[in-house]
Chains A and B, each alone.
Chain A
Amino acid sequence: MRYLPLTDADRGDMLARIGAASIDDLFADIPRDKRLTHLLDLPRRQGEMQVERLLGKMAARNMAAGSVPFFVGAGAYRHHVPASVDHLIQRSEFLTSYTPYQPEIAQGTLQYLFEFQTQVAELTGMEVANASMYDGSTATGEAVLMAHRVTRRRKAVLSGGLHPHYAAVVRTLSAMAEDKVETLSPDVRAQEDIIAHIDNETSCVVVQTPDVFGNLRDLTAIGEACRAKGALLIAVFTEAVSLGLVSPPGAMGADIAVGEGQSIGNGLIYGGPYVGLFTAKSKYVRQMPGRLCGETVDAEGKRGYVLTLSTREQHIRRDKATSNICTNSGLCVLAFTIHMTLLGAAGLQRLARINHANAVKLAEALSAVKGVEVLNQSFFNEFTLRLSRPASATVEALARKDVLGGVPVSRLLPKAGLDDLLIIASTEVNTDEDRAALVTALKEVL
């Protein structure tokens, strides 16, 4: 077996050295009647070529995003990732290393975590960022729990513009922890009055911008209302590239800002792994979940980095920890930070402008299609359409014409009576030909 270096001769010698008659002597603590004496009903070993053939066949049954005009968003975005990013994250020393528990031989990981934390804090306009969470949705769940710890209250208010999956994650976690959640109804046109829902029991208000329908929201007044009632404002974003062009959470009074970092450096990968960004005001740092990397010096006074403030964490505090999280998204963090470093502020801002320009062009083109209405007053690279027929059937029909044309709102909110709404995104990867193909196909299927 190509991955197992021991030979039968080695195995024999080693058993002799151990003083065991057979390998099964070493498994003697497993109750005899529970030991498997035969091989389970599963395939036997195969060579690289066979495995490649098998999985290649499976992969070929899928419609790869890059093979067709592609306009799907709603929480995950297709961007161009420079070739050097994927090359660098596959360096063995990054790929095959562990959580940096021995900092003297993990300065590579620790330094990029420190650089990442700085980049994320700068991007969001927040004071402190952690070393990442699993993804944007779980980061949002953790943000709500953190707000409960900070305020010693247990009720969250969720905006109707929050991604429905994110809201479902918060509701699940809260139901289990026996905390209260109020979810406002789907707010397609960003018209809700969330401030009216803040009371003296409210621990936090969770608002997404750009929201799931693509609208940009000014959070300033919500932040002020939160402060007046002793609640925290949690700002959420699912499209990190937007921060290059739109007002960041830190400039709008967010106490905690969380989001999905996938769109910088990371592919779509059918939903994961992604990278959750988690930021806050520094006064709350000791209530933050997850790993934090900090600067220090070594025995010779040289600058170095370590994981720090770990007395918040499960491996030290056990049932008193701020979270049960153990891993972060190390390699996805690395992809994010390399891409961010290549872009720099200048590149990110230009990338964001291209995204916005492409979405504006698409919105203009689609507005001219009969049976299509663009609902948004404002947007970044994503907006919502009202169609003259159900969005779900439309998207299926578009797929048959080899166009991946957006996300029906009914897929995220099946029983909300919003069957005619379609969320559509356009990033820098779309060409004029792609947009023309969508417009043509849409005219045919509507």
Chain B
Amino acid sequence: MLNNQGRPTSAGSAAMTEAHPTFTGNRALMQEEALIFEIGRAGTTGVDLDEPAQFKSRLGGLERKQELTLPGLTEPEAMRHYVRLSQKNYGIDTGIFPLGSCTMKHNPRLNERMARLPGFGDLHPLQPLSTVQGALELMQDLSRWLIELTGMEAVALSPKAGAHGELCGMMAIKTAIAARGESRKIVLVPESAHGTNPATAALIGFTVKTVPARPDGTVDPAVVKSLLSPDVAALMLTNPNTCGLFERDVVEIAEAVHAAGAFFYADGANFNAIAGKARPGDLGCDAMHINLHKTFSTPHGGGGPGSGPVVLSHRLARFAPVPFLRRDGEKLTLVEEVEDATGTEQPFGRLTAFHGQMGMFVRALAYMLSHGIDGVRQASEDAVLNANYVRACLADLMSLPYGNKPCMHEALFDDAWFKDTGVTTLDFAKAMIDEGYHPMTVYFPLVVHGAMLVEPTESESKASLDLFIATLRDLALAVKRGDTARFVGAPYHAPRRRLDETRAARQPVLRWTKPQPVAEAAE
């Protein structure tokens, strides 16, 4: 095709990358990058330090005798290495990142700046409390927001991530049961729950009993009642659940759980759908962790760090672990040791060294202050609106396991519509990569066959969603026309083609080792 200047505007099929291998293996901006152990040199360092003057060692004869062979890089080499690696990653700032249940919303950069203020970022956790009153004030303000938003009595800030928060909540429950002189062994967990729920319960000695879902994807209070007994310690329920549906019978379920002398643990992973719209405390919840990295947008950072404060009802508040805040007139103090508890406080112990993820507390509070309660409520509404828009615009092509009815902040599709096409959920996800999108969550929740869980979040504009929807429609139509090659071999355009996970697990190579010289290897 020619334009009016007579120059080609399209490279045409002959110019496909396959036909033009490069000497380096690079593809313009996409650079191959070796390991630091292959490019670094022994003895090189990118940090200039002066050798200390002669001194008398006090190591008591425990000097390192083992060789240390880590190569070093100078600063320009290091910059290049890590920038090239970063270019092989997809982030929220690259495009829509619709991972259901993970809540990949925009990470405001103001929050990064605030966390780096020396008055927050350069504080030691064991400085005298008189020198960190501003930090304690920040923790106090964050606590107030979390308590008010959830309608609960208290909050334990120290858990390091969502699963750690679950552990905190379940430990509080176990302690409360023991304080009543009881020993209850069973924890009820719906089959759609996150894997961390049963793993947490089992970690501290509970036996997990699965609660089946009813055909509409929610938990049936009658089933919960049939499973309750004097041996049931708690029900762990995610609400909205992992199918993106609000558990509409939650109040009846909570009442039944309480009537049986058990506790109601809520997995707060999906709190971002209802923040400012409803309060878990009003729904009967006793403990709920809040993933600050989801609802309050602290960056996911390629898999952490997270932060998982746990809000507690009046039934559990006194069992909160150390450390916790106490106001002493004008001054704030931290109760850091179990022995320092007073009055009704009966802390169950300690979950981590120090006081929790302060860096994440600053970011989360900056998010809250920026949004305000009006913005938090609007964010919840927009998140739900965006998910429903995606659902409504794809319902004619992709199948919905529970029918075309409103969802909360995420839309769940199944793989029924792939029947006899030769395309699977995984293939579809990999084809999305070629289109420049991060796939949605796939094969979770486990209760839905070939699940595809789409959570667009409130950070997407309508234009962004329209292009995303148009792309998925194009892909869906390609599936239906039998264009399977576009899927089964995908991705074609990513930094790597599909990776062999079976081989990685069968012959684990978990660290770099120096290649043996060829002659030796041949012997």
Contacts and interface: CB of A to CB of B under 8 A. Distances in A.
Contacts of A351: 47, 49
Given A18-B392, A132-B304, A271-B353, A172 B171 contact: yes
A338 B78 contact: yes
Given A67-B118, A357-B52, A378-B60, A327 B499 contact: no
B57 A104 contact: no
Contact of B89 (A10, A54, A94, A101): A94
Interface string B39-55: 01011111101111101
B299 A95 contact: yes
Most buried by B among A145, A165, A243, A293: A165
Contact of A269 (B102, B358, B368): B358
B372 interface: yes
Interface in B366-393: 366, 368-375, 377-379, 381-382, 384-386, 388-389, 391-393
Given A108-B87, A316-B195, A344-B73, A270 B389 contact: no
Interface in A2-32: 2-7, 10-11, 13-15, 17-20, 23, 25-31
A39 B374 contact: yes
Contacts of A132: 304
Contacts of A26: 384-385, 388, 406, 408
A303 B148 CA distance: 50
A28 B301 CA distance: 35
Nearest to B495: A107
A313 B497 CA distance: 25
Interface string B477-494: 000000000000101001
A39 B66 CA distance: 63
A10 to B, nearest CB: 4
A183 interface: no
A132 B512 CA distance: 17
Interface in A416-445: 428
Interface stretch (B2-10, B123-131, B222-230): B123-131
Contacts of A343: 45-47, 70, 72
B52 A58 contact: no
A106 B438 CA distance: 10
A318 B195 contact: yes
A315 B196 CA distance: 7
Given A272-B358, A411-B336, A5 B459 contact: yes
A325 interface: yes
A48 B112 CA distance: 12
Contact of A98 (B137, B302, B351): B302
Nearest to A44: B372
A380 B495 CA distance: 44
Contact of A350 (B49, B171, B199): B49
Contact of B137 (A23, A58, A273, A340): A58
Interface residues of B, number: 205
Contacts of A191: none
Contacts of A295: 504, 509-510
B365 to A, nearest CB: 7
A171 to B, nearest CB: 7
Interface size class, chain A: 35 or more
B274 to A, nearest CB: 7
A14 B247 CA distance: 24
A6 B126 contact: no
A156 to B, nearest CB: 15
Contact of B512 (A115, A344, A395): A115
B123 A34 contact: no
B202 interface: yes
Contact of A341 (B36, B110, B166): B36
B352 A135 contact: yes
Contact of B495 (A104, A125, A325): A104
Contacts, number: 716
Interface in B15-45: 33, 35-37, 40, 42-45
Interface stretch (A173-181, A196-204, A222-230): A173-181
A360 B58 contact: yes
Interface stretch (B156-164, B310-318, B417-425, B515-523): B156-164
Given A96-B92, A122-B69, A29 B300 contact: no
Contacts of A269: 115, 120-121, 123, 358-359
B59 A104 contact: no
B88 A105 contact: yes
Given A26-B406, A246-B63, A100 B303 contact: yes
B504 A3 contact: no
B78 A3 contact: no
B75 A31 contact: no
Contacts of A121: 511
B458 interface: yes
B372 A95 contact: no
B499 A306 contact: yes
Contacts of A302: 496-497
B149 A42 contact: yes
Nearest to B106: A3
Contacts of B258: none
B433 interface: yes
B113 interface: yes
Given A31-B283, A62-B133, 6 more contacts: A14-B389, A45-B374, A50-B369, A62-B123, A248-B64, A296-B503
28 contacts: A2-B370, A5-B460, A27-B274, A35-B277, A55-B120, A58-B135, A60-B134, A65-B122, A66-B122, A78-B124, A84-B79, A101-B99, A103-B501, A106-B88, A107-B88, A171-B349, A176-B204, A269-B123, A296-B503, A297-B500, A308-B501, A326-B162, A330-B303, A348-B70, A356-B52, A356-B57, A378-B59, A399-B131
For the complex of A and B, list the 6 residue pairs with the smallest distance between their C-beta atoms, beginning with the closest. Answer: A344-B72, A59-B119, A378-B60, A271-B354, A172-B349, A61-B134
